[in-house]
Amino acid sequence: MSNPGEADLTPISSVRQLAEWFAAGSKPPADWRIGTEHEKFGFRREGLAPPPYEPQGIRAILEGLTARGWEPILDDGRPIGLKRGGASVSLEPGGQFELSGAPLASLHETAAELRDHLDEARAVAGALGIGFAPLGFHPLARREDMPWMPKGRYAIMRQYMPRVGRMGLDMMLRTCTVQVNLDFGDEADMVEKLRVSLALQPLATALFANSPFLEGRPSGLRTLRGRVWTETDPDRTGVPAVAFEPGFGFERFAEWVLDVPMYFIMREGRWIDATGLTFRQFMARGLPDQPGVEANMGDWADHVTTVFTDVRLKRFLEMRGADAGSPEMMVALSAFWTGLLYDDAAQKAAAALVRGWTVLEIRAFRLAVPEGGLTTPFRSGTARELGRAAVAIAEDGLRARGLGEETLLAPLRAILDSGETQADHWLRRCAEAWGGDVRRIFAEAAI
């Protein structure tokens, strides 16, 4: 998402120009990197309430990190994010604290980056009586209990979400994810990576399930976050059928994104409501109440970030199917997808694994896994059986990289051996050790 003063003001002249924006992300394998993003809920150590922006809340954490060498990102004069080197810290609408990691060459660097970030965040937040818990859905808070961060674009989304989905505001306020961003070599490589990762994203949702509670009680789901995304906004979420069409590539994807409804544009540091238009309509006639405003490439880059498919194509691929979880699981997500997609033989094996799957099958699988988790039936087996096959391929792919990264898949092997996901673990703890008191998850999940 563009920050004030950073947008590309180049006018848009053709759909091909938009396709070339995606194609510009193509890189030779030697330049492929791993970028990991992870969100976590803040909570007051005393009382467990979500911290507000201010006083003595999220803003104070950002300012404390600024004193440690981070550069603030401002919105209307208030800090709403940070940047340092190739990494950034940002805020989700309910104050979920996110690190968007730098592009790194190895998973060991990813693990080290996470450790350093958590050490820094704990040092600053701890002095304010604030802790962090990485869970897929807030286990206690009602929607009205969550604060809103003072970011201009969130005000526009807040008004728009209830028009298009029952749980869009829950997505904004009460969910946390971990995702990994990976590169592609060229158009053909992008297409294969995108199709493989879309097909296997329901498996990732099941493996990383970590949100079984709703407002202090079991929800009946293993990943409530997984369910929320199925009821957020059908125009921009899920498994896009276009990715599986014959002849799919950068230009066909650009055509599809052109018809996704808009949220906003930025002009002179101010977010302007653009809801009610697709980007194609915006290109053709501008904004009805903003004479002279024409679409530019910065607008396009911002619009692409409002596409919330299970895998998002930008100038890299974002794997978006997993709940936030323990630090080991955050790194395991990056290890899983890196192993599948950063070794040619592993990628071909993964493509063979999903060959013949239809969009309808994948979508049905995705709808079922929030409740069923690893027990979800799929084709002739279950998600757990599919997970064993996929993790074995990922392990081979990491071993071929020769960096000793395959050890980072250990949490996934343990889950597949036991059949107990993070969500199942918390449900068992709730029933056996907590006496049904879900509040106790914060002490055990805190990082």
Sign of CA dihedral 7, 8, 11, 17: negative
Please name which of 185, 187, 212, 178 lies closest in space to residue 331, comparing C-alpha atoms: 178
| pTM metric for this prediction | 0.97
Q: Where do the structural domains in the chain lie, given as residue ranges?
A: 15-436
Q: What is the pLDDT of residue 144?
A: 98
Domain 15-436 fold: Creatine Kinase; Chain A, domain 2 (3.30.590)
Residues 311/27, Cβ–Cβ less than 8 Å:
no
What's the farthest any 2 CA atoms get from each other in the chain? 64
The set of residues, in sequence order, having a beta carbon less than 8 Å from that of 291 and lying 6+ positions away, is none
Residues 283/303, Cβ–Cβ less than 8 Å:
no
Burial of 47 (0-12, 13-18, 19+ CB in 10 A): exposed
Whole-angstrom distance, CA of residue 445 vs CA of residue 447: 6
Residues 303/262, Cβ–Cβ less than 8 Å:
yes
The DSSP line for 162-195 is HHH-TTHHHHHHHB-EEEEEE--SSHHHHHHHHH
Burial of 246 (0-12, 13-18, 19+ CB in 10 A): exposed
Provide the β-strand partners of residue 238.
309
Condensed to tens digits (0 to 9), the pLDDT of residues 109-167 reads: 999 999 999 999 999 999 999 999 999 999 999 999 999 999 999 999 999 999 999 99
Would residue 51 be called left, alpha or beta, if left means φ above 0 and alpha means ψ between -120 and 50 degrees? beta
Q: State the Cα angle at 135 between 133 and 141, rounded to 5°.
A: 85
Which position has the token pair 């808009």? 262
What is the chain's pLDDT, residue by residue, as a tens digit (447 residues)? 544 446 899 999 999 999 999 999 999 999 999 999 999 999 999 999 999 999 999 999 999 999 999 999 999 999 999 999 999 999 999 999 999 999 999 999 999 999 999 999 999 999 999 999 999 999 999 999 999 999 999 999 999 999 999 999 999 999 999 999 999 999 999 999 999 999 999 999 999 999 999 999 999 999 999 999 999 999 999 999 999 999 999 999 999 999 999 999 999 989 999 999 999 999 999 999 888 899 999 999 999 999 999 999 999 999 999 999 999 999 999 999 999 999 999 999 999 999 999 999 999 999 999 999 999 999 999 999 999 999 999 999 999 999 999 999 999 999 999 999 999 999 999 999 999 999 999 999 999
Crossing angle (nearest 10°) for helices 410-418 and 187-207: 50
Please name which of 287, 434, 298 lies closest in space to residue 10, comparing C-alpha atoms: 298
Does an H or E element contain 78, and which?
strand 78-84
